[in-house]
Amino acid sequence: MHTVWKGAISFGLVHVPVKMFSATEDKDISLRYIHKECGSPLSYVRKCPVCDKEVAWEEIGKGYEYDKGKFVLFDKEELEQLTEVSSKNITILDFVDLTEIDPIYFQKTYYLSPDQAGANAYRLLMEAMRQTGKIGIAKISIRSKSSLAAIRVLSDCLSIETIYYPDEVRPVSQVPGLPEPGIVNDKELDMAKLLISQLSTPFEPGKYTDDYRQRMLDLITHKIAGEEFHIAPARQESNVIDLMAALQASIEAVQHIPADPGPSAASATTKAKAGASRKKTVAAKPAKTADGAAVVDEATGPIPVIAPKPKRRTAKSKEPGA
């Protein structure tokens, strides 16, 4: 893993030297802009509209637009001074319960490992947080960006998740078109709760896949090979207006999803069907051995036997002299 940050965690007067690594990676498939006429990729050109010329990186600075077309400019040294003090330290401000933080605040997760001779302090902080069930709320600056962060124990590793400041989260009151508070139909509510119960399952991250990325990779593979590739049309969703009917149909669809039987279950089912079929075609009387004991099959139980039907005596079959 590539180290993205080095510094120390401090809580009280205790300092824990750490290195930071990205815990996640972006697997989006990147597409470039191509000139259709010649098939060449297009490049991004930094051009000044006033001077009408391309600008090199060493000629570029940073500025803030405080009014339309008016900027205050900053030197690189000025910006570095702003982050110089806080960029190498993760200061834990408070310890809280993880359940107190709404997921809307979380941004990106990083792993932390001990640096230099910080293994003992690292292990101490991790074990203390594990046993108290608390997470640390801290401040951190990464690439000149100041963020709040949540430090928590993840398996046998400390992780840190950057979180938004409260004023960076838009209030729900700004969302347009939210329904007014009202009474929910009791029958519809019971059906909705039943549907949620039917669809409830333990969270297993491994069963979720990026279907779009897989289709894109398949399309790229076929195009490289010069093959045609047709994507099946998306399933048309039914426009069900009756909410009760939609809930009922959803519950029925969930209940009729066949379970995946294991090998032993499939074998038992096959044997049971074979036994049932045999019982339908034979008499109920079980077969017996010479001493009168019933013959038993370990899989299907007593084996029935068909008693031969007696032949009807006809005039031709009568014995002479009868």
pLDDT digits over 242-267, tens only?
777 887 888 888 877 655 444 444 44
Residue 226 belongs to some domain of the structure? no
Burial class from Cβ neighbours inside 10 Å (0-12, 13-18, 19+) for residue 182 reads exposed
pLDDT score for 257: 63
Cα within 13 Å of Cα(187), Cβ side:
6
- Domain residue limits at 120: 3-25+60-167
Total domains present in the chain: 1
Whether residue 177 is contained in a domain is answered as no
**268 touches 260 (CB < 8 A):** no
Ranges under pLDDT 50 in the chain: 260-311, 314-322
What pLDDT is recorded for position 235? 62
- Say if 110 falls within a structural domain: yes
Half-sphere exposure of 320 (CA within 13 A, CB side): 0
Task: Flag whether 73 is in a domain.
Answer: yes
Q: Is residue 98 part of a domain?
A: yes
**Residue 263 placed within a domain:** no
The residue to which tokens 């896949």 are assigned: 209
* CATH code assigned at 13: 2.40.290.10
User: What global pTM score does this model have?
Assistant: 0.62
pLDDT at 244: 77
> Has residue 69 been placed in a domain?
yes
Is residue 93, in this structure, part of any structural domain at all?
A: yes
Residues 176-222 have pLDDT tens digits of 888 888 888 898 889 888 888 888 889 888 888 888 888 888 888 88
- What's the chain's average pLDDT? 77
Task: Compute the C-alpha angle 211/212/215, nearest 5°.
Answer: 85
